[in-house]
């Protein structure tokens, strides 16, 4: 079991990477004899609910699979169930599922009685390596992703790589894009590790998965510690590729392109754009693209169906005045990402028109 301690302002919590069964005592201590509510979706509950229920008494609350869960209606549904179950402010709510279940449950727990603890038990690579840590919670609203949310740090995160064995390959690859992101931000050695070990990780190698998840969480913890509420400091770097990605997700229609797939394209484009601006070498871009496409991820706009004309407005560039500048994560090379606030809207427009 690997333990990673996260300091998020005055909140401290542990992330345990290893077999869920080894955390039985920890869960029972939190439960103090109570039955714990566990939010999950039908698929994940069916696959992994029994193993969790064998460790401590739980009451399942099921929501729809995927992004569909992140709606007002289901947020309200959770609040109703918490009330019916007479949960008090000290009762931990468990979230067993991917980032969607985690985002919804974290928000409901953060709001209920002004905040009760949430314990994340992430079941996708994306959630284990990224979304379960950091305290961001949200639902989608008014047609916009993550419009309504709050920061609510978990009390504990239990990441068991064995739970990923049932995940389908497309979801696994999408999550892998977020893993690679941590190499590209500031850890070139980890990017090299991904080049050497990514195929084994994707094929199911438990040790490789554990190493990648722990490395990503440590990197996220470091970043979050310095900028807990994403006020424009170091945490912004976690958004490498994401300004492109969010525009891609919206332009393709929410749900058509998986978040991690959009991030893979976004990271490749951020490197290409940086190369075009003379900030990084073309060889770096080629290396990034080769690794991501080797992992079965898209790296060009042409690989997904979307209305390209929507990308610029969705990236916010059209809101800038003539000659205006916008903020974007760019890079000086592999592992050398930085937040630029001097991107010319016109130069981004030109790049988007030419990009692959």
Ligand X SMILES: NC(=O)c1ccc[n+]([C@@H]2O[C@H](COP(=O)([O-])OP(=O)(O)OC[C@H]3O[C@@H](n4cnc5c(N)ncnc54)[C@H](O)[C@@H]3O)[C@@H](O)[C@H]2O)c1
Binding site for ligand X (CB under 6 A): 41, 43-44, 47, 65-67, 70, 97-101, 103, 123-124, 126-127, 130-131, 134, 136, 146, 163-164, 166-167, 171, 259
Q: Report CA-CA distances (Å) from 75 to 110, 113, 233, 267.
A: 11, 14, 30, 32
User: Least separation, in Å, of the C-beta of 246 and ligand X?
Assistant: 9
Residue closer to ligand X, measured from CB, 97 or 266: 97
Would you call 340 exposed, middle or buried from its count of C-beta atoms within 10 A (0-12, 13-18, 19+)?
A: middle
How many angstroms separate the CA atoms of 230 and 196, rounded?
32
- Our CB check for ligand X shows the closer of 147 and 207 to be 147
List Cα–Cα distances, 310 to 109, 228, 250, 267, 307, in angstroms: 35, 32, 9, 19, 6
The distance of closest approach from Cβ of residue 353 to ligand X in the complex, given in angstroms and rounded to an integer, is 28
Nearer to ligand X, 65 or 227 (CB): 65
Query: Measured from the CB of residue 133, what is the shortest distance to ligand X in angstroms?
Result: 8
Q: How far is the CB of 77 from ligand X (least distance, A)?
A: 17
Residue position matching structure tokens 């990236």: 315
Nearer to ligand X, 91 or 239 (CB): 239
Least distance to ligand X, CB of residue 347, Å: 28
Nearer to ligand X, 164 or 216 (CB): 164
228 or 280: CB nearest ligand X: 228
Burial tier of 119 (Cβ tally within 10 Å: 0-12, 13-18, 19+): buried
Q: How far is the CB of 108 from ligand X (least distance, A)?
A: 14
Query: What is the token pair recorded at 161?
Result: 């790589």
- Least distance (Å) between residue 324 CB and ligand X: 28
DSSP one-letter string for 274-332: HHHTTSS-HHHHHHHHHHHHHTT---SGGGS---GGGHHHHTTGGGSPTT-EEEEEEES
> Is the CB of 171 or the CB of 331 nearer to ligand X?
171
Minimum Å gap between C-beta 137 and ligand X is: 6
Q: Where are the alpha helices (DSSP H) in the chain?
A: 24-31, 42-53, 72-84, 99-111, 125-126, 169-186, 188-203, 206-225, 242-251, 259-276, 282-294, 311-314, 345-354
Quick one: residue 296, left, alpha or beta (phi over 0 = left, psi -120 to 50 = alpha)? left
Query: How would you classify residue 316: left for phi > 0, otherwise alpha for psi between -120 and 50, otherwise beta?
Result: left
Query: Nearer to ligand X by C-beta: 71 or 146?
Result: 146
Helix (H, G, I), strand (E, B), or coil: what is residue 262?
helix
């Amino acid at each position: 079991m690997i333990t990673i301690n996260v300091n998020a302002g005055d909140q401290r919590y542990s992330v345990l990477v290893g077999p869920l069964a080894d955390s039985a005592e920890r869960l029972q201590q939190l439960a103090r004899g109570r039955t714990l509510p566990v939010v999950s979706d039908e698929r994940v509950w069916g696959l992994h609910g029994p193993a969790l229920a064998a460790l401590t008494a739980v009451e399942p609350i099921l929501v729809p699979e995927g992004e569909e869960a992140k709606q007002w209606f289901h947020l309200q549904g959770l609040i109703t169930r918490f009330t019916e179950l007479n949960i008090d402010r000290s009762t931990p709510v468990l979230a067993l599922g991917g980032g969607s279940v985690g985002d919804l449950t974290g928000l409901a727990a953060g709001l209920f009685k002004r905040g009760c603890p949430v314990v994340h038990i992430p079941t996708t690579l994306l959630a284990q390596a990224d979304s379960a840590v950091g305290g961001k919670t949200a639902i989608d609203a008014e047609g916009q992703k993550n419009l309504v949310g709050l920061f609510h740090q978990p009390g504990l995160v239990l990441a068991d790589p064995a739970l990923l064995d049932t995940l389908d390959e497309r979801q696994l690859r999408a999550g892998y894009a977020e893993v690679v992101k941590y190499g590209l931000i500031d850890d070139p050695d980890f990017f090299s590790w991904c080049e050497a070990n990514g195929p084994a990780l994707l094929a199911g190698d438990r040790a490789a998965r554990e190493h990648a998840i722990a490395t990503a969480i440590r990197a996220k913890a470091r970043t979050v510690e310095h900028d807990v509420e994403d006020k424009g400091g170091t945490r912004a770097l976690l958004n490498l590729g994401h300004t492109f990605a969010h525009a891609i997700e919206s332009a393709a229609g929410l749900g058509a392109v998986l978040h991690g797939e959009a991030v893979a394209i976004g990271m490749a484009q951020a490197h290409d754009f940086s190369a075009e601006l003379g900030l990084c070498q073309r060889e770096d871009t080629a290396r990034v693209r080769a690794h991501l496409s080797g992992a079965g991820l898209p790296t060009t706009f042409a690989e997904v169906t979307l209305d390209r004309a929507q990308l610029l407005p969705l990236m916010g560039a059209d809101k800038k005045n003539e000659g205006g500048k916008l903020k974007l994560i760019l890079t000086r090379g592999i592992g050398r990402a930085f937040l630029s606030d001097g991107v010319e809207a016109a130069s981004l427009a030109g790049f988007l028109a030419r990009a692959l």
